[in-house]
Structure 1
């Protein structure tokens, strides 16, 4: 548990000219504009419902609102680019107008959807495929000059859990990021956030091995995002339902914060904010 975890890490994000302080861990709220996301209580059916939920998230202390219109759960139904835009863009516009200080992340692996979302008022692109599912994504992010969250995943959401295989999952994810960061730097992308992709093309054992070695990603000195919220790495390990996985989520979030994570992507904002506050107190006491 290193007290200097954040000393060399990039501490700001430039979101359309607005500098976002990243010196302390923060919370990203999940807002799903989908009918089939794995956690049913996270699904929003209308713009009005999304606005209501966003207000609650912000009041609870979320720093980022991550809006997704394409379910990436294993075996999810494919959604056309047009439908994704039609779902996502109106919600981005509405939230940007109603909550002008909110930092909006658009969860998409498609370059056109990313650009439309940024033009509608989003500030960050969150790409589960790190450019692998759209060859134009990296150049689009470079053109837009917005922060870019890139996640590790093999294959597509429809097939990613079909017998995922690694010699050493931690080393392979590390090498994956190393190559991607090099490419993005060459394109002039300055603000990159890393997401190891828990639950994406990984078995239960892969997920826990990756979490056990999470501190290796501090090497890149970039913000590190983790997403465990109510996922199968909790429900399968404990043999419980998604609805009962909040406590397990908090345990894994705490572990990740102590290993260097500084963005928690969650469904349950209040509990994650409390987790961050307590870990900050612990880390602060260790520094004295």
Structure 2
């Protein structure tokens, strides 16, 4: 009894392009090696053979390279897993399915229960979905092909007319939805006391804001032009429009300010330290 063979049948009366054949078989070779690797074996552990063409069909035969008890019925597992992956790709809905739902899906297609775990794990953790999709792109581009049939051990598992190829290729792919954290930028008028001054490059100045030191870049171009003509020193006071970004922490149920995001968008007023001292002396 044959238990290690996949037969691919390209429908149509004419010849198919040689590139169609070679690209398609290369994709299926990669699929088989991916399955082999996920099952814990190496490429050297199996032999992949392709029969000569017969009425548009090619037989892919898989056999173990070494005579080991460990590899007993190994080729059957690989073939069944490949068949399960193909069926799952063609029948799975757009939303994610649980393992139990996939079991029911594949059991309806007469895939052995012990193979289902392989199918689920390999489909979730490898790029087989893209490889299978690419195989349909390859056959769809060959105008001489009218349908695609695939048998597992002489039992048909796939029979798809070319009219359905485009729908399979363009089917909406599963996209994992990542919920971005809530972020915003707050801007308000603030009074800052200068602690450290940086006149060169894009270095940040250090200020005291509400009793805490912060580092902030200054983006006010009008203020920057004054750096060469106006005196600044530690202890000066700035009245500014201060911006900073914050992210909502779901666990703490509160916003947390990014300490590296402080930006002075506009300097409204600069009061020198000497002015502050004079005002204190006058009081």
Larger radius of gyration: 2
Higher relative contact order (CA 8 A, sep 6+): 1
Q: Which has the higher helix share?
A: 1
